[in-house]
Amino acid sequence: MVLPLMVLLMVGLRFALQWSWPLPVCWLRKLTGIPCPACGCTRSLAAWAQLDPMAAFRFNPLCAVLCLALAAWAGLWLIERAGGQSWLQEWGVRARRWRLGRILCVLAFLNWLYLCLWLPK
């Protein structure tokens, strides 16, 4: 289910860029000049749609890494379904032991710091 949605999102962004449709604006950054933690995600996804991973990382590193992780998860899910093995369930158990929520909070904060200092306008 996730893989078709990712492909649909990328195709939609590709057409939006090609036809110069207006993309969403971050109102926090527009009003205060301070980026929100998700600033640059639309541009990062647009860079992925144009197959430009370096630009995707420059606009929002955490969003770019999450896109890669989601693509890897979707690929593993397909391999798991084809091969009849269950890796993802085992990895889910491991992730809970790593306290993934805390790690993601720290990464989100570091990503926001990066956005505050270096996000291109």
Q: Is the pTM of this model over 0.75?
A: yes
Phi-psi region of 119 (alpha: psi -120 to 50; beta: other; left: phi over 0): beta
Q: What tokens appear for 111 in the block?
A: 């990503």
What pLDDT does residue 1 have? 62
pLDDT per position as a tens digit, 28-67 = 888 998 999 899 998 998 898 888 999 999 999 999 999 9
